[in-house]
Amino acid sequence: AQSVTQPDIHITVSEGASLELRCNYSYGATPYLFWYVQSPGQGLQLLLKYFSGDTLVQGIKGFEAEFKRSQSSFNLRKPSVHWSDAAEYFCAVDHMEYGNKLVFGAGTILRVKS
């Protein structure tokens, strides 16, 4: 069955340090890929998306993600983390073969040390 894996449940980084959140998916073909962020008590906000073309995509709040077909990965990165980035991050996949549905990873909680 299709799945989305975020192997890190929690990550703690120091403010100003770089960040990489991992995401792997198991689909036969390239799906549509998304990263969402959820602050405490809030809904999910779209950070960025990939459909085709350039495998490095830029998003809001200084985030970027790189699609690597050979590794079935779509990792999220930020060069310098701010305290306000502390939140939960979800990778999601939408593949037409499985209906018009988003399949979410379990999420990664980011803590930022000052």
Partner 1 sequence: DAGVIQSPRHEVTEMGQEVTLRCKPISGHDYLFWYRQTMMRGLELLIYFNNNVPIDDSGMPEDRFSAKMPNASFSTLKIQPSEPRDSAVYFCASRRAQGTYEQYFGPGTRLTVT
Which residues contribute to the site for partner 1 (CB under 8 A)? Answer: 32, 34, 36, 42-46, 49, 51, 90, 94, 99-102, 104, 106-107
Q: Based on CB atoms, which residue is closest to partner 1, 47 or 81?
A: 47
Q: Based on CB atoms, which residue is closest to partner 1, 2 or 15?
A: 2
Instruction: Tell me how far, at minimum, the Cβ of 76 lies from partner 1, in Å.
Output: 15
Q: Based on CB atoms, which residue is closest to partner 1, 59 or 112?
A: 59
Three-state SS sequence of 62-106:
HCEEEEEHHHCEEEEEECCCCHHHCEEEEEEEECHHHCCCEEECC
Instruction: Tell me how far, at minimum, the Cβ of 88 lies from partner 1, in Å.
Output: 10
Q: Based on CB atoms, which residue is closest to partner 1, 36 or 74?
A: 36
Distance (Å, whole) CA 71 – CA 74: 9
| Cβ neighbours for 49, distance < 8 A, ≥ 6 positions apart | 32, 33, 34, 35, 57, 59
